[in-house]
Amino acid sequence: MRRLIIAIFSLSSVMLHAQASSPAPTQVATNGPAPQIKRISTGVIAPKLIYTVDVVADSTGTARLLNNDCKVVVGMIVDKTGKPSDLKIVQSAGAGVDASVLAAVSQYRFSPGTVSNQPIATPLNLEVLISNSYR
């Protein structure tokens, strides 16, 4: 028992010295406002698609010229209310198809992404698959 107590006391002084000699965190001076730091949490939930509309082919018939199924990837921000904003085409299938997809996706609705049960604006890439059977 004495050996155990002596070992604990001798190791505790070594551990205290190791903690005291660790370098302090450094701060970097920035010009302008400090960047917002997002907290990493296990309570992160991605937005979920809850309402969609069909993609309607454009009136010029550009969508009909595509012989195969196509995929359009739309980048967006899903805001705190679940509405998509800042829509942009990440992967195109042609100007006419892209315009139809953007018009449809702007009407989509999502359940917003959350961090620790608080809704947040979340960036999202959405793949829209267009099949010949729809055209």
Q: Quick one: three-class SS letters along 56-107? A: CCCCCCCHHHCCCCEEEEEEEEECCCCCEEEEEEEECCCHHHHHHHHHHHCC
Using alpha carbons only, how large is the chain's radius of gyration in Å?
A: 27
Residue numbers of the domain that contains 99? 42-135
Question: pTM here?
Answer: 0.60
Instruction: Using CA atoms of 106, 110, 113, 116 in order, give the dihedral in degrees to the nearest 10.
Output: 150
Provide the domain count of the chain: 1
Classify residue 34: in a domain, yes or no.
Answer: no
The answer to whether residue 71 sits within a structural domain is yes
CATH code, domain carrying 87 = 3.30.2420.10
Residue 119 is predicted with a pLDDT of 92
Span 41-93, pLDDT tens digits: 567 889 999 998 888 765 445 545 555 678 899 999 999 999 999 999 999 88
Residue 51 is assigned to a structural domain of this protein? yes
pLDDT tens digits for range 91-123: 988 888 889 899 999 999 999 999 888 999 999
User: Is position 67 within any domain?
Assistant: yes
- Confirm whether 53 is domain-assigned: yes
